[in-house]
């Protein structure tokens, strides 16, 4: 199934009653990468009172969180819930808190950590990852226009076009559309083009 994740690291912050909350988000593909990211943020914020985190992974359908010293249920759980509602996966969020000397109470902490996570999520560039095939072929110039005309109908992503004696094209096509797309190419070219296909890839179609 297609899934949505983030392109790279991003962060945002706000201040609530003198406490600064910094939301950090990063793509991760397994628990080792999540642990590395969490430890990296902790190392960069050694003077912070708390580094609350949560992550969601496709691998093993894993989700984990930590309150990192905040009262139980006031940090990690709210961050995890925001992640779940965002529809993101293969992501880790760490919310760093620099304590400002004023207690927020349980409800205040839940709102603050939720908001910091939402800021981080909103700041990140999203990617729609789809299972697909890479299809490469060459054709003469008389066929080029006819073939490229159908590309939008199959939502293909053009990776490259090389114009020489012939035109060589590399495309990404969603797995569920590959069969119909290949048939259409064969029909339009009267079977004159040879396709090279690499299957079972995951690429960004956003």
Return the sign of the alpha-carbon dihedral for residues 132, 133, 134, 139.
negative
pLDDT at position 32: 96
* 43, β-bridge pairs: none
Measured distance CA(120)–CA(117) in Å, rounded: 5
pLDDT reported for residue 81: 97
CATH 3.30.70.240 placement within the chain: 128-204
Query: Which residue is associated with the tokens 């990404």?
Result: 172
pTM equals: 0.85
CATH 2.60.40.420 fits domain 3-124:
no
CB atoms inside a 10 Å sphere around CB 182: 17
Q: In the chain, which segments carry CATH 3.30.230.30?
A: 3-124
The residue with tokens 């293969």 is 90
The 10s digit of each residue's pLDDT in 38-91 is 999 999 999 999 999 999 999 999 999 999 999 999 999 999 999 999 999 999
Distance CA 21, CA 48 (A): 10
Query: 57: which strand partners?
Result: 62
Q: Which residue has the tokens 């994740």?
A: 5
Ranges of residues in the chain with a pLDDT under 70 are: none
In this structure, CATH architecture of domain 128-204: 2-Layer Sandwich (3.30)
């Amino acid at each position: 199934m297609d899934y949505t994740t983030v392109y790279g690291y991003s962060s945002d912050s706000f201040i609530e009653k003198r406490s600064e909350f910094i939301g950090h988000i990063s793509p991760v593909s397994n628990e080792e990468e999540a642990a590395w990211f969490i430890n990296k943020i902790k190392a960069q914020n050694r003077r912070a009172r708390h580094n609350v985190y949560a992550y969601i992974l496709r691998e093993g359908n894993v989700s984990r969180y930590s309150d990192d010293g905040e009262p139980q249920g006031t940090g990690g759980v709210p961050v995890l819930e925001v992640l779940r509602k965002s529809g993101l996966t293969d992501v880790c969020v760490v919310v760093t808190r620099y304590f400002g000397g004023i207690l927020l109470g349980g409800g205040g902490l839940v709102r603050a950590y939720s908001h910091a996570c939402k800021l981080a999520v909103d700041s990140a560039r999203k990617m729609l990852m789809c299972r697909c095939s890479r299809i490469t072929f060459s054709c003469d110039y008389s066929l080029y226009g006819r073939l490229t005309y159908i590309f939008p109908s199959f939502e293909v992503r053009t990776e490259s076009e090389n114009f020489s004696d012939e035109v060589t094209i590399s495309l990404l096509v969603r797995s569920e559309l590959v069969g119909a797309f290949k048939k259409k190419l064969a029909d339009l070219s009267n079977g004159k083009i040879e396709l090279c296909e690499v299957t079972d890839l995951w690429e960004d179609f956003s």
